[in-house]
Structure 1
Amino acid sequence: MTAEPSDVTLFDPDAGGSQPPGSLEALIARIDGEISELQFPRFSKDDSLNLGLLLVELGKTRKLPIAIDITKGEQVLFHVALDGATPNNEHWVRAKQRTAARYEIPSLLVGLRARLRGGRIEDQGWYDESVYAAHGGSFPVYVAGVGAVATVTVSGLPQMQDHDLVVEALREILGSMRPA
């Protein structure tokens, strides 16, 4: 039996020590695939509201203690903290959002690519952890043919869960935009 990509144990960015061979590369490839998949035909303020409300619905239904943010440039399009979210989540939202906006890739991918090169981006002298966070939870909103136009960020869960929740919501909103 050959290993399917889904059979590869995922890299856990929160775990210390060694991890399964190929798991970091597999996770990076998965996120690169998500970027390719999640290309929107447009992204309006109404779309950001729908995305934000979907994340609220998912968070409330699952009783998740999360903060949610959608930002375009300097303009906050949607922002809310659900029950259980703390003021600390606000710092993480902003730091992850700045990272995704600066690099125009998911905040998780910034940290993973640094690990692939054998280190942590946080160990670079120029990287200011009071401003940026290379942790999962912020994903750029890409418009096909345009590029990154906004970011959607979740904070309050372990970073892989933050990332996966954002991707789940982006998939659902994108699916609702496609012709039936």
Structure 2
Amino acid sequence: MDFEHELEKLARQEETLIFPAFDEDLAWQLGEALRVRARAAGQAVTIVIRRGEDIVFLHAMPGTTPANADWARRKHNVVTLMQRSSYAVSLECRRDGKGLDEKMGLPLRDYAWHGGCFPIRVAAAGMIGTVTVSGLPQRADHELVVAGLAQLLGHDEAALALD
């Protein structure tokens, strides 16, 4: 894998997928868009959207388990701390050959450096929350989130997709 190329694409996604404002209605629209996409693809995922630490959308599809919600919590912790998508953090850790447990002494029980959580940013406000999907391989979790954000924000999904 070309880590640098993939990390450049991830940085572009994070720079592009910014809301002008974000509230509970948008959280519902985003969560529903992700649920519809996953269902249409025959995927079972847990979707968690947070504003700060408040959960503003939660849906566990049939076929998921409480472990998926725990993965979502742990991915959220990574994004909240690093202010980057959990997939970007995962790629950096893989590239460097060290996880966050080694790099920063973070307990694996509370920090999962695996893809599927993305920062929710608002123009002029910065990061105000996260959107997390858990249940697929980490790159697929990430891609689902990005596709849903691109759709809701009116961006070209193909232009933001990973290679």
Could you say whether these structures have the same fold, taking a TM-score greater than 0.5 normalized by the shorter chain as the test? Answer: yes
Correspondence for 1:27? 6
Correspondence for 1:63? 42
Q: Output the amino acid matched with 2:100.
A: I
Correspondence for 1:18? none
Q: Output the amino acid matched with 2:93.
A: A
Instruction: Give the counterpart of 2:53 among 74, 84, 101.
Output: 74
Matched-pair contact (CA < 8 Å) for 2:53–2:129: no
> Structure 2: where are the runs of 5+ without partners?
156-163
**2:64 is aligned with 1:120:** no
Q: Output the amino acid matched with 2:4.
A: E
Q: Deviations over 1:4-50 (max 9, x none)?
A: xxxxxxx3xxxxxxxxxxx1111111100101111111111110010
Distance 2:56 2:88 in 1: 24
Paired positions, count: 155
Q: Output the amino acid matched with 1:111.
A: S
Q: Which has more helix, going by share of residues?
A: 2
| Aligned Cα root-mean-square deviation (Å) | 1.5
TM-score (normalizing by structure 2): 0.89
Correspondence for 1:130? 109
Distance 1:124 1:32 in 2: 21
Greater C-alpha Rg: 1
Which protein, 1 or 2, shows the higher relative CO under an 8 Å CA cutoff with sep ≥ 6?
Answer: 2
> Structure 1: where are the runs of 5+ without partners?
1-10, 12-22
TM-score (normalizing by structure 1): 0.81
- Percent sequence identity is 35
Distance 1:129 1:107 in 2: 14
